[in-house]
Amino acid sequence: MLPEIIWKIPKKGTINLHASILPNYRGAAPINWAIINGEKESGVTTFFINEKIDTGDVLQNEKISIVDGQTAGELHDKLMLVGSKLLIKTINTLEKGNYKTRKQKKTENQSVAPKLKRDNTKIDWSKSAFSIRQLILGLNPYPGAWTIINKEEKPYNFKIFNAKLSDQKVSEKNILIDDNKLFVGTKTNALELIEVQIEGKKRMMVNEFLKGNKNIKNYILL
């Protein structure tokens, strides 16, 4: 946070660009949580900074659609372009003095965007395939959705960066290898893993990963 003595220096105020349509997704990771929660749209907002985080009066915003399968990194890059244009538009409006602001009204079902930590980025295989896939996409490229894989009775961190829904029938937490593809069971249908990273190795596509892990069907996901 900027101290008040700093953000009060400019005569017209200090503005910020936030990667959500405020007041939804206030916090440190708005892009990630929009994907994780399966939102259909996102956007950017310019607002005046005040003494609290992401609560100042809104100047302007711009919405964009979130397409199916989009990662947090891809949404970030789109919002970066939209946000740069909105910021210039906001500055021009402030310079002319013909702007209006609106107060942020807190709602009962308001979405939040807390900091990403180890406990809220771990995959819970008892959830639906859809919600797990959204977690994976929302944490790509950073920090990555993770689980524990018991490889030859030794636990390893196992990150998953991309996956897609599958009609394969696989029991929860179980692994199925079929036609050089890797499937994991969830509460609902299975997930086909696309891009993964086992501890100590680089990110790789699943077909490459399977070449060096031929016994993975005997591994256990925790």
Longest Cα–Cα distance in the chain = 67
CATH number of 4-113: 3.40.50.170
| pLDDT bucket at 186, cuts 50 / 70 / 90 | very high
Q: Say if CB 171 and CB 112 are below 8 A apart.
A: no
End-to-end Cα, the chain, rounded Å: 38
Q: Please state, in angstroms and rounded to a whole number, the distance separating the CA atoms of residues 82 and 77.
A: 9
Listed in sequence order, the DSSP H helices in the chain are 4-7, 30-36, 72-96, 129-138, 206-211
Predicted local confidence at residue 27, as pLDDT: 95
Domain ranges of the chain: 4-113, 129-221
Residue pointed to by tokens 């906001």: 90
Q: Please give the share of the chain, as a percent, with pLDDT higher than 70.
A: 100
Nearest Cα to Cα of residue 213 among 167, 158, 173: 158
Q: Grade residue 74 by pLDDT with cuts at 50, 70 and 90.
A: very high
Query: In the numeric block, which tokens belong to residue 202?
Result: 């680089």
pLDDT > 90 fraction of the chain, expressed in percent and rounded: 89
Which tokens sit at 4? 């008040």
Binning pLDDT at 50, 70 and 90, where does residue 1 land?
confident
pTM score: 0.95
pLDDT for 152 beyond 80: no
Domain covering 129-221 assigned CATH 3.10.25.10 in the classification: yes
d(CA 188, CA 82): 36
Give the separation between CA 170 and CA 88, rounded to whole angstroms: 51
